[in-house]
Amino acid sequence: MVLQVRGVVLPEREERAFWIDGDRLRAGTARDADLVVDGGWLLPGLVDAHTHPGTESIEDPFSDATLRRHLRDHRDAGVLLVRTPGSAARIPDWVDQDPDMPHVRSAGRWLATPGRFFPGFGRDVSEADLVRAAVEETTASSGWCKVVVDWRHNEPALPLDILTAVVEAVHAIGGRVAAHCQTSEGSRHAVLAGVDSLEHGMHLDPGLIDRMADQGTAFVPTLSVFGAGAGRRRAAEPSAARDWWLAGWDAMLPTVRAAHEAGVTVLAGTDSFPCGTVSSEIAWLARAGLPPEAALGAGSWSARSYLGLPGLVDGAPADVVAYDTDPTRDASALAHPSRIVLRGRVMA
């Protein structure tokens, strides 16, 4: 049975029809096709660009069963592409071979030098071995590696020369580097080293934003996970750590808005559980000042393009999520997809 979809495609806002040829979209209509989407608003799926499926805490071992459950949670929410920037274990090959699973772009295991992460939760390496390890994780993943550049607010970040060497080595094999950064020094080193994506960036110096735009460093601020903890932090007893955290949080929304306005690619990522809640991050991006269409694009077509997949065009993967109302005008619609098609198969 040939499947057919039609509706208003975002962001183009054009009514289009596609028929499904295996796991590919074909423009136009097909004779005697089963019309599984008839009208509404069509996206190529949502994207969570910063999620860690497979384990929920440092006490829980990574497992295939947990990974499958998390990826299904994403899929059932209309998230058809995820990026895992670092994990407790490498994402297994079966994920890409299972037609029920979202597309995954992985970065291998977190790479952490001494004192800069939860001990043993990622791949602990010395500063001297970091370049070699980064190349290994990039080669073993979807072409990404993830480096923990800083950790505690009162401790130094990974030296700039070492991070620069990592970026040069990974770029030399065609890979990309994601950098965990929350301190001002860490974010500065990441931008100056030319990383491909800045994760969190809580104390990012706005003076670095133009450089990020010029060199193509994406910004994944994970606002929703920070926003969820802001009230608890404000209620805590005053301390240097608390004051540092709140100062960073209070500057984040204006910084995200400035990054977007400067032309930085801003991406939606949750870094939290449950999986399948990227719509909350999209809402936070809009709250930061991104126009509704740009905020949605950061969690859909723009993120998809950044991660190497096209939107709703002829020959693209047959990934379609339909909504009854325009999600750029009614953000609550994102929680209620009317149809989900993944890899040419109707999921819901």
* pLDDT higher than threshold 90 for residue 283: yes
- The whole-number average pLDDT for the span 114-122 is 94
* pLDDT higher than threshold 90 for residue 348: no
Task: Taking each helix axis as running N to C, give the angle between helix 160-172 and helix 184-193, from 0 to 180 degrees, rounded to the nearest 10.
Answer: 40
Instruction: For domain 46-306, give the CATH number.
Output: 3.20.20.140
Whole-number average pLDDT of the chain: 97
* pLDDT higher than threshold 90 for residue 58: no
- The whole-number average pLDDT for the span 74-92 is 97
Q: Coil, helix or strand for 26?
A: strand
- The whole-number average pLDDT for the span 266-271 is 98
* Predicted pLDDT at 261: 98
Under 8 Å between Cβ of 115 and 137: no
* Predicted pLDDT at 286: 97
The structural domains of the chain, with segments of one domain joined by +, span 3-43+311-346, 46-306
* pLDDT higher than threshold 90 for residue 59: no
Q: What is the CA radius of gyration of the chain?
A: 20
The residues pairing with 105 across neighbouring beta strands, listed in sequence order, are: 83
> Which CATH architecture best describes the domain 3-43+311-346?
Roll (2.30)
pLDDT digits (tens, 9 = 90+) for 325-341: 999 999 899 999 999 99
Q: Residue 307: which of 319, 320, 294, 298 has the closest Cα?
A: 298
Question: Could you give the strand order of the β-sheet that contains 339-342, starting from the edge strand earlier in sequence?
Answer: 24-27, 14-21, 3-9, 34-43, 320-323, 339-342, 345-346
pLDDT digits (tens, 9 = 90+) for 125-159: 999 999 999 999 999 999 999 999 999 999 999 99
